[in-house]
């Protein structure tokens, strides 16, 4: 067994934070699976009420939360056959988002490198990973074989798809597929894992896997070699999210709480518990506002990015006349600036690409164009 290097995962994910970090405001959403609701919290763990009320829109057994590029919030429910869509601002039910395919106990979701929504299924016989367009229309069953009780997943830089297969809670493993959904076999077997739920890939390609059965978070390298226990002191972990400072939050069914895990894997106690939170199995952090800039931040057609989804390159366009102080900042979902450059004086269109270092990551990015007079804001979704 290779001894893991004591490098904080926050550094492995890092871009240096700048002043833009302090300007961003965030909130935490947590599934309360046992009460069919989604709770909302401030970054210090203060309970702010139900973002999605109990059973709104027929939600039953919420499993995952996905922030759609259009600003709405998508939620899968264990007892639902379609993805539910809710208003991103107030959590009001909008409609059944997915169509053309009846899901069997849907679980985890992600937007893939192809800008499609991937959904895992827990069904006994219907358990392939399914793809939908960003409009909710069914595309296909992606995986060539089923992934019984499949849960968390990610892609590597070659487009290979990795998924936790919980199995019966004692024989779980991690499977991987190529970019076309063809089976590549078991990536991490059940010699260490028992009931894997969520998993995440760090920027150095190490993989963290939550094990619901053992209450541990295990760490593996890029080839699937076991490196040791990353975090302990949990009961039934499922679901994770990073706070803007790189601290990791993890849901825990067994104690109806969310834990705080530091950069070294130490369990620092509860982020939140109580207030009716039951069986938390998904944690998400999102930006909700720009503190101190709201009165002069313009979010309408004054700034656009073309295309707004894709691998790039992108073009920023504005009909505003910006002065020589204007600067473009590209901010990731955790509030970190990953790129910053001056806006050319007098330009109405500026091309840009995401930087290669730190390593590109799929997901949502906020583009800010700041001058001495105003701040323009737009969102882009990066795929690989």
Neighbouring C-beta atoms of residue 372, cutoff 10 Å:
9
* 199-249-147 Cα angle (round to 5): 20
Q: What is the pLDDT of residue 289?
A: 52
Cβ atoms of 69 and 305 within 8 Å: the answer is no
* 212-277-111 Cα angle (round to 5): 60
**How crowded is the C-beta side of 317, counted as CA atoms within 13 Å?**
8
- DSSP designation for 349: E
Tokens 């949990």, residue located:
234
Q: What is the pLDDT of residue 300?
A: 40
- Tokens matching residue 183: 């089976």
Q: Residue 34 and residue 56: Cα distance in Å, rounded?
A: 14
Closest CA to 166 of 145, 197, 207: 197
Q: What is the pLDDT of residue 302?
A: 66
Q: What is the dihedral of CA 201, 241, 32, 123, to 10 degrees?
A: -20
Element (H, E) at 272: strand 267-273
**267-275 long-range contacts, Cβ below 8 Å, gap at least 24?**
267/231, 267/232, 267/233, 267/234, 270/45, 271/28, 271/41, 271/45, 272/30, 272/39, 272/41, 272/45, 272/47, 274/47, 275/39, 275/47
Q: What is the pLDDT of residue 24?
A: 52
Q: Is the pTM higher than 0.85?
A: no
- pLDDT (tens, 9 = 90+) of the chain, 384 residues, equals 333 344 444 434 433 333 444 445 789 999 999 999 999 999 999 999 999 999 999 999 999 999 987 889 999 999 999 999 999 989 999 999 999 999 999 999 998 888 899 999 998 899 999 999 999 999 999 999 999 999 999 988 788 999 999 999 999 999 999 999 999 999 999 999 999 999 988 867 899 999 999 999 999 999 999 999 999 999 999 999 988 777 899 999 999 999 999 888 999 999 999 999 999 999 999 877 543 333 333 434 467 787 777 777 888 888 777 778 888 888 776 556 788 889 888 888 888 888 765 455 677 787 888 776 667 777 787 776
Q: What is the pLDDT of residue 360?
A: 55
Q: Residue 156 and residue 198: Cα distance in Å, rounded?
A: 16
Q: What are phi and psi of 379, to 5 degrees?
A: -115, 145
Domains defined for the chain, CATH in brackets:
9-289 (2.120.10.30), 294-382 (2.60.40.1220)
Cβ atoms of 118 and 131 within 8 Å: the answer is yes
Q: Residue 357 and residue 161: Cα distance in Å, rounded?
A: 22
- Tokens matching residue 77: 């429910």
Closest CA to 239 of 38, 65, 42, 1: 65
Q: What is the dihedral of CA 292, 242, 113, 163, to 10 degrees?
A: -160
Contacts of 234 (CB under 8 A, 6+ apart): 210, 215, 216, 217, 250, 252, 254, 259, 267
Q: Mind spelling out the 3-state secondary structure of 134-159?
A: CCCEEEEECCCCCCCCEEEEEECCCC
Q: What is the pLDDT of residue 291?
A: 39
Q: What are phi and psi of 264, to 5 degrees?
A: -100, 0
Three-state secondary-structure class, residue 82: coil
* 317-111-16 Cα angle (round to 5): 65
Q: What is the pLDDT of residue 268?
A: 95
Q: What is the pLDDT of residue 336?
A: 66
Q: What is the pLDDT of residue 5?
A: 43
């Amino acid at each position: 067994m290779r001894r893991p290097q004591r490098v904080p995962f926050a550094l492995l994910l890092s871009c240096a934070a700048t002043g833009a970090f302090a300007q961003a405001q965030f909130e935490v959403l947590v599934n309360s699976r046992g009460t069919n609701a989604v709770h909302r919290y401030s970054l210090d763990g203060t309970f702010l009420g139900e973002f999605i009320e109990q059973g709104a829109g027929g939600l039953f057994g919420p499993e995952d939360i996905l922030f759609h590029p259009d600003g709405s919030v998508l939620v899968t429910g264990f007892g639902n056959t379609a993805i539910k869509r809710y208003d991103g601002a107030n959590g009001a039910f909008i409609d059944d988002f997915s169509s053309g395919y009846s899901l069997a106990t849907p679980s985890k979701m992600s937007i893939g490198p192809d800008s499609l929504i991937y959904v895992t299924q827990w069904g006994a016989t219907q358990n392939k990973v399914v793809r939908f367009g960003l409009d909710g229309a069914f595309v296909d069953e992606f995986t060539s074989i089923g992934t019984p009780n499949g849960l968390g997943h990610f892609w590597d830089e070659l487009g290979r798809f990795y998924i936790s297969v919980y199995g019966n809670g004692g024989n779980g493993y991690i499977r991987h597929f190529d970019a076309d959904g063809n089976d590549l076999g078991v990536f991490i077997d059940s010699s260490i894992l028992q009931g894997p739920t969520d998993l995440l890939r760090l920027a150095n390609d190490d993989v963290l896997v939550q094990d619901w059965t053992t209450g541990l978070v295990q760490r593996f390298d890029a080839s699937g070699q076991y490196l040791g226990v990353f975090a302990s002191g949990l009961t039934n972990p499922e679901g994770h999210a990073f706070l803007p400072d790189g601290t990791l939050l993890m849901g825990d069914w067994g104690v109806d709480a969310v834990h705080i895990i530091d950069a070294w894997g130490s369990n620092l106690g509860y982020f939140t518990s109580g207030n009716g939170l039951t069986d938390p199995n998904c944690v998400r952090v999102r930006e909700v506002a720009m503190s101190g800039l709201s009165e002069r931040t313009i979010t309408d057609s004054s700034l656009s990015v073309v295309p707004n989804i894709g691998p790039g390159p992108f073009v920023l366009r504005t009909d505003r006349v910006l002065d020589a102080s204007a600067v473009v900042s590209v901010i990731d979902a955790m509030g970190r600036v990953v790129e910053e450059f001056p806006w050319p004086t007098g330009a109405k269109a500026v091309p840009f690409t995401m930087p290669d270092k730190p390593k590109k990551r799929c997901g949502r990015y906020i583009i800010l164009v700041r001058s001495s007079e105003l701040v323009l804001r737009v969102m882009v979704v990066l795929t690989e």
